[in-house]
Structures are given as structure tokens and as C-alpha cells.
A and B are shown apart, each in its own frame.
Chain A
Amino acid sequence: MTRHTDDGETEEANGPDEKREGVDGPDEKREDADGSTTGAAPSSPAPGVPEAGRDEQPSIFVPDDGEVPEGTPSERPATDGGVESAAGGSDSADLDPDAYDPVDVFPGGDLDLREGADSCYKCTSCDTSCPVAEVDDEFPGPKFQGPEQWRLKRKDDHDIDESITSCSNCMRCDDACPSSVPLSQMHNEARGQFVESQMEKLSREYIRNRILSNYRFFASIASKVPRLANAATKIPGAMKVGEKLLGIAGDREFPDFATQTFREWWKARGGAQVENPDKRVAYFHGCYSNYNTPEVGKAMVRVYEHFGYEVMVPPQKCSGTPMFANGMLKDARRHAETNVENLVEAIGEGADVIASCTSCSLSLRQEYPELFDIHGIEDVSEHTYEALEYLRINEDLEAELAGTELADEQSFAYHAPCHARNQGLDRQAVETFRDVDGVELEDVGDSCSGISGTYGWKEEKYEKSMEIGAEMFEHMEDAEGDVGMTECPTCAMQMEHGTGYEVEHPLQLLEDAVGA
């Protein structure tokens, strides 16, 4: 099969590339797409806009089949594909670099993001919206990391540039690109490849990143001995040791672990208090509201029960957000298998999936189907919503809240997480509470908080992270309220860290407002 080339750049980028010749589907598709955009009148200014963007991308991480290209280590069985209860279980093998199997990432899978790369018309909107490029002189920016590197990479021997590890996966570039180039999907993929084949598996950085991305694993241990764990992270010097040994930013305070996790609370209260086969939701609480801020999960349950929903809490693992950001795609996939299996079951019982963390909802909705090919993953994507979003769609929240009054007047400095922005949810909290008396929600602007999950936890990124966050801290301090509010647990940590404010989740405020 010969490939179509429409400009010098792609031609060069296509080069001799035998591996790709075997991959049929995407290429065939591309021929039509090509023909219809540029084929008709070669010299005339074609009024077509580039063809494929994010909307038509195949999922790319398919480690279970496909040829194993030369040069990549062969596949061994996953160390832990098993489903296990949500309340713990051992992931210890995952964290031992020796037990880690590099898999046949990408070249053998059926990805072809080239159409996406080609639809880049170099407008640089992505670069101007990248919070890391704004402060980091070493970081070449999303346009390079995405479409440009993608073209380079087609030449066989081109390594992924190490700078990909500086991308925080905030996804602002996605939102900025007028051409729907699947930037974050390209970044995730490149990062995965970099980690798999170019990163030293015994390096301090690798181990640190695996620890950070497997937060759930540590949290599940720590929450068994919360008081001890809390004390340990507060021992003077303990964090400094972490910095020295592992490169975890020593200036950060480790989050407190709850003495009773959300799931323990759920079990103790006897599960759902409302039964309603017509209105069911499956709550994806994520790691953080389980181990650290169960009050968010409790608020979710009470609010939804107030509106007559039957809440289910299926077994679940990490949504994968921190793993994507660290290129640990294989870890993420394993967790995804558990999540998809359990959520699909809940969907089969009539439930929609609700997340209270905007990164979890983004992951299930967007990254899952883009990166993994798991049976049922599309269903999960289609049925997933963020908690407030779902109520706004299905309940007359405006009427419910009109005229409500909060006993104690309270102003909040609200920060919209980047991942909320990406789902069109960045304004919903401000708009929802606009008509509630006694509540003032002030949007502290559209800057990034700078922590981006695990990014700000890395010793070498700490300063950049605080520099990115500076604008938000300033605006928070200018805002009237001295309580912060956001949907994202790691943004919350950053807000607390930068200003000393206590930070709440909108669900907690909603719980107060509707008297749930």
C-alpha cells in the first residue's frame, strides 16, 4: 500500500517505516480523508479545515495484541491483572522496578495520530496557553511535544525528548487548540513511550514517579494506621529525607489521612439509605476522597440521597490520572481494567457514574477511551459525569437553590481546576451558588494552580509549580473570602499550601445549602 503525502513535511516524516505498513485500518481511512481535503483542486486555496481532530481518534494503548516490533522487549504477563477489593489489597509487586514489565508500547498498537498531527496549522494557541512554558525555560511547549515531535518520531531512530516529563498533563493546550489536535493524547503516549523505553528503571526519578503515581497504594497502607502515618509525615526532617532520597519536594506538607475512610464510613452506615431503581448513580470517589477527605464523599452521598438517588459504591481503583502524568501507562491500564469491569456492572443496573474529582471524571470520560481498548470502556466514558454537572443536568438545581439561605455568611475564593475547564465545568460552581443568599463565590481567575497532580510534588519542579501558582495565590488573597473552594484535591493542596486557607469542595457547600 502506498501512502498519500500532501506536503514535504509529512513525506519526510513518513520516511521508510516498515512497521507501520502492516497497520491497515487507520491508513486506509486516511486515504479518503486526504483525498477529500486536498485532492480536488490542488492549486486552489482549499477552504477545507484539517480533517481529523480529537473527535475521531482511535484508542492507542493496546498492549494485549499487535506485533511486537524489533528492539522493544517482548511481552510478559502483567504482574497484577487481578480484580481486588477496593479497600486495599497488595500492589507491592507493582512498585518493584524489577517486577515491572516493559510492554510493547505503541509501535505495535493500532494508533495513528498522524491525521491529528497534520491538522495542526501552527497557530501556537496551545503554546500561549501552557502554564509550564510560561515559567520553564527548558520546556519547549505543547506544539513541539505534540504534533512536531510526532512527525519527528516517525523517523525510526528518533528518541522522545526528555522534556516530555516536564509536561504536567493539565490539558490546557487541548482546550486552546482550534483544530482539535489531540495534544494531550499525544503527550500521554509520548510520555508512556519515554518511560518505557528511555527511562532508567532503577533511577531515583523513576522510582519516585512510580511512588507518586501509585499514591493509592501508599494511601491504602497509611490509612490503616492513619495517626501513625500523619505523625510520621510531620516528624521534623522526615520530608527532607524524602527529598534527599527520592526527590519529593520537602517543602510540601503531606496530606492528612482520615481516621475513617469513606468506604469504612459507607460500610458503617449500612450502605445506601435510599433505594430507587429509576434514579441510580455509581459513585467513583477516587483515592483522595476515600483516604484523605471522606467529608467530600459523605457530602456527595447526602446530597444525592436528598435528591432521591440510590447511591452505589462499586469496588474501584485509581482513575489513572497521576499515572498518565508520569507515563506509567501500564499501571494505569491495570487499574482501568478493575474500574471498567465494576462500573460497567453498575451501568448495567441502570446507574450513571458520578465522580466528585474533576480529574477522575476527565480520565474516565476522555483518557480511558483514548488510551485503552478495554471491553465496555466506551460505555463507562459515555455514562460518566462530574457530581455537580449531573445534578445541573438532571435536577432543577436553580429552583432548588433560589431563595435558600446559609446560616453563616461565607465567602469563598474559588479556583477552577484545569481539568474542569477541559470538560466545560469551570464556571459551574460560581453559577450554581450565585443565587444562594449568604454565599459569595469569587472566581480567582483562570490561571493554573501549578500543582497538576504529582508535578508539584517533584523536588525539581517545586519552584516552577509555586511560580505557576503565584497568580492564583495573589488572587486568592485579594478575594474577600478566606476559605478556598475547588473540585480537585491536588489543587486544594496547592491552595492550602500557598495561602494557608482551608479548602472545601462545592459538594460540601451544596450539602449545607440544600440542608441534606
Chain B
Amino acid sequence: MAIDSDVLVVGGGLAAVTSAVAAAREGADVRLVSHKASTLRQASGLIDALGYVPATEPATPLRDGPPTAGRELDRDEWPDPEGPLADPFEAIDGLPESHPYRILGADALREGLALFDDLAGDAYRGGHTDRNALLPTFGGSVKPTARYPAAAEAGLASDDRPALIVGFRSLTEYDARAFAGRLEAAGVPFDVAGAEVEFAEAFRADAKVTRLAKALDHDEAIDGVPAREALAKAVAPHLHDAVDEAGGVERVERVGFPAFLGDQEGDEVRAELADRLGADVFEIPMGPPSLPGLRLEDRLYDALDDAGVRFETGNPVVGVETAADGRVEAVAVDKKGRETPYGADAFVLATGGLVGKGLDSDREGVREPVFDLHVPQPADRYEWFVDDAFGDQPYARFGVRIGGDGRALNAEGEPEYDNVFAAGGVVGGADAAREKSASGVSLATGIVAGREAATEATQ
């Protein structure tokens, strides 16, 4: 077969990149095939490991019978999740046994994060400690996260310096005042004010963040004034907006912007703004659309290149082409209508969950479409959900089950194939949205799957 490698990684998100690099570092010849451009560009750019441990049992037993669509629900049926957690590692034992962190152990998460630190380099912070950082995010909430972009550093919620949050009148989705109000209500230990300024007015009403970033990157003239200077000038009158407890007015020491301060030249843009404003400047992660996500994608794909991984995006893997003796020999890649076999000695499935299209659902149930791996699920569709939107939704934990070495398991708990591993959102057992664990799960499962696949392929 002409297209061949030791390890073939299927997917293009964080889990795929992690396992590809991990496998390459074990000396394997690695190829990565992703259907679409990486999902990283949609993500906030924050790397969450474990922020909460949600309750898996309701406070009072659930009603029997089918759910009660539309009926008044009693929100108190579910206890509050434990958290925000100061230390994600300490909380792992409180997770269900089928959680990937429990299956692979805390060390897998630690090593996955270490690999991420290595790949992200000085663009990311948080690697100095096991503990979570608290970051303001765009909804005005404060989120526990394990790693965050350097551009967001001055925004840490644990920092007690007074802050100004800047919004733009023309960008309606960013309501800076409401945002500042919510932060205060959340009890942050600093004084904060929000201000809407005129700057983005110069652009079309629904200008893309990439447009604003590009204008700042190139310092384009906005009505005759260079963009960075124009932005600083617009913000300057509000530097004294924050009010302290005694009612006095103070000059803020840091200023937060929606995350569009430059793309290629972000560091330079922030430095210049900080200089002009006499205050630290930070970005508030948001998304999508997400420049921090785009920047992370660029960095990780450069890392793939450096590790010698071959990669291609644009065509999906649609199924197993040949398998024999409990091993997959080749998968089929759909190249605009024509299926082409891609052979490998080991495969890593990292196609994401229900949203990433790694899992498919219809009336019949939920399935994994590439290797047709076993996805445990209640036979009755009604049991996929519980009434309370904040309850433990079984479907949120749907996915392929893995063993301690990352191999995908069949219904009997045995490896489905000797050489197929799974990582990231396609793996079941985690409720990433409620736990705030999406990236951590991808890193932990990714590093294990990548390494073990390399071992399988090169032994």
C-alpha cells in the first residue's frame, strides 16, 4: 500500500495533536488525517483539567418512568457540584470509576499537561503549579482552569489590582458593564469597572474579530490615526472609572479587552497598548470566534511539523478498509467521492464527541462511525436524559470505552482490535461540560494512546 505509516491518527483537535506528537516522540512514523480544519479555532484557548466534580446521584431518587417533558422541574433534586476546585489532581478520586482520569490515573493527566507545556512554550502560563487558576471568561463568570494564554495572565481573578473591562459600542455581544457587574457579584477580590468605548465604530457593524486583529497587527490607520494609538486614546478617559470600597476613584492597573488584540503580532500589540495606557493589558478568553484558539492551533500544528508528523485536513476517514486477525490494517479515506486506503500498524481514533462528529446519533442510538467501536448506552432512548438540565445527563458521558493502555474496548471489556486506541472527546465516561475537563481529558487520553500506539507499531 502506498500511503502507509507506523501510526495513523484520525482527527484534528487537541487529542489528535497530542497523541500524534506523543507517538512521534516515541520514534514512530506518524500521519494525521483530519476531516476539517482543527476545532481548536473554536475553543476558548483555555486548557481546563478539572474544575468541578458534579454529583452523579440526585439528592432524592429519580421518578420512575419516562421523563416529564415540559413539566415544572425541581432544580434542587441535584446537589451542587463540588468546586471550583483548587487542585484538580486531588479531586480525581471523587470521579466515577469509568472516568478516563480514573482509568488512566492522575499521572496521565500530569504528563499530558507537561507535554502541552512543552508544545505551547512561552505562549501559555500555569505550568508552575498543580493548582487551578481562576480566569474571568466572557460571560462574566470566573472559571477554574489549568493552563491559560500568556495574553490572559494579567486578568487572573486572584489578582487584587483594580481592573477596567473594555467593550465596544458596536460589538453588541460584548457588554463590558454587565460583565464587570457580574464579576463583582461573583465576589472577585478587586475593584472593577466596565466601559464601552468607540473604536470598532470605524469598522462595519459586524466586523469579524480577525478583521480587528489584522488592523491592530498592521497598525492600520483608523481615520488617520494608527489603530493601536486610536484604541489607547479611546480607552484612556476611562482609566479612572473604577471605584473602591470607600467610594474613592482609583486609577486601574490593568485593562481587559475582548480577545482580538492582534493575531501574528499579539505580544507587540499588547505591549504597545500597555505602554500607552500605563497599565497591564490582558485579553478575556471568549469563543467562538476565538483568536486565542486560532493562535493555539497555529502553535500546535507547528509543533506537529517539528515532530515530523505528516498531516492533512480536508477529507474524512469513513471506515475500516481491511482488518484481519483482530487487527485493522487500513482505513478508508474519502477523497471527494473516491475511497483511498491508508495503512498503518496502529491507529488512534481522536474524532471528538457528539459535536465534533466523532459520535453519530439517530433514532437507533449512538454509534462510532469510523471503526464502529462499541458505545455503551441504555437501550431505551428515554434513559439518555434526566429531566433536570443541570442533572447528570447520561448522554453527556457517552463514548467509546478504553482500557488502562488506551485501547478501545468491546462490549465484553476486551480490546476490540489489538491496534486501535482512542483519545479525547470520543472517549466516554467524562462529562466535560459540567466538569470543565475537556482539554485535560484530551491531553491525558492523547498522550497514553499516542505512546501505546507507537509501542504497538514499532515493537
Contact = CB atoms under 8 A, between A and B. Distances in A.
Given A44-B384, A45-B385, A137-B203, A36 B363 contact: yes
Contact of B208 (A130, A392, A428): A130
Contacts of A381: 336-337
B336 A366 contact: yes
Given A382-B337, A421-B313, A392 B3 contact: yes
B303 interface: no
A7 interface: no
A385 B395 CA distance: 41
B2 A137 contact: no
B394 to A, nearest CB: 10
A2 interface: no
Contacts of B337: 365, 369, 378, 381-382
A459 interface: no
Interface string B23-67: 000000000010011010110000000000000000000000001
Contact of A427 (B37, B290, B310): B310
A311 B171 CA distance: 57
Contacts of A382: 337-338
B221 to A, nearest CB: 13
Interface string A48-79: 11000000000000000000000000000000
Given A178-B42, A423-B336, A140 B36 contact: no
Contacts of B333: 424
Nearest to A422: B314
A270 interface: no
A175 B335 CA distance: 13
B355 A396 contact: no
Interface residues of A, number: 59
B381 interface: yes
B290 A128 contact: yes
A440 B108 CA distance: 38
A424 B2 contact: no
A37 B360 CA distance: 11
28 contacts: A44-B67, A45-B389, A47-B398, A48-B362, A49-B355, A49-B360, A123-B42, A124-B288, A128-B41, A128-B291, A130-B210, A134-B208, A134-B210, A134-B211, A140-B204, A141-B206, A175-B314, A176-B37, A365-B335, A365-B336, A366-B336, A369-B337, A382-B338, A385-B335, A385-B338, A393-B3, A423-B335, A424-B333
Given A127-B289, A133-B208, A43 B363 contact: no
Contact of A48 (B37, B338, B361): B361
A128 to B, nearest CB: 4
Given A175-B37, A424-B335, 16 more contacts: A40-B381, A43-B69, A44-B384, A47-B366, A49-B361, A123-B288, A128-B41, A129-B41, A175-B313, A365-B336, A393-B2, A396-B2, A423-B335, A424-B315, A426-B314, A428-B312
Interface string A387-402: 0010011111100000
A157 interface: no
Given A41-B69, A394-B2, A396-B2, A138 B208 contact: no
B338 to A, nearest CB: 5
Interface string B345-377: 000000000111100111100100000000000
B312 A427 contact: yes
Contact of B289 (A48, A128, A426, A431): A128
9 tightest A-B CB contacts, nearest first: A424-B314, A43-B69, A365-B336, A424-B312, A128-B289, A44-B385, A124-B289, A424-B315, A47-B395
A133 B210 contact: yes
A135 interface: yes
Contact of A176 (B36, B207, B211): B36
A178 B398 contact: no
A177 interface: yes
A236 B92 CA distance: 74
A384 to B, nearest CB: 8
Nearest to B386: A44
A43 B33 CA distance: 36
A432 to B, nearest CB: 10
B180 to A, nearest CB: 25
B364 to A, nearest CB: 9
A427 B12 CA distance: 14
A392 B343 CA distance: 13
A125 interface: yes
B436 interface: no
B141 interface: no
Contacts of A395: 2
Interface in A417-464: 421-428, 431, 443
Interface string A362-375: 00011001000000
B15 to A, nearest CB: 15
Interface in B65-85: 67, 69-70
B296 interface: no
Interface string A127-155: 11110011101101100100000000000
B385 A137 contact: no
A141 B340 CA distance: 34
A331 B310 CA distance: 39
A42 interface: yes
Contact of A138 (B204, B305, B310, B314): B204
A43 B70 contact: yes
Nearest to A44: B385
A383 interface: yes
Nearest to B71: A43
B69 A44 contact: yes
B458 interface: no
Nearest to B209: A128
B210 A127 contact: yes
A176 B36 CA distance: 6
A482 interface: no
Contact of B314 (A49, A178, A423): A423
Nearest to A421: B314
Contacts of B39: 178
Contact of B381 (A41, A178, A366, A383): A41
A130 B209 CA distance: 11
B322 interface: no
A396 B398 CA distance: 41
B2 A134 contact: no
A46 B207 CA distance: 32
Nearest to A171: B314
Interface string B269-302: 0000000000000000000111100100000000
A48 B362 CA distance: 7
A383 B264 CA distance: 40
A35 to B, nearest CB: 8
A305 interface: no
Contacts of A133: 208, 210-211
A295 interface: no
Contacts of B209: 128
Contacts of B210: 127-128, 130, 133-134
Contacts of B393: 45
A507 B291 CA distance: 36
B384 to A, nearest CB: 7
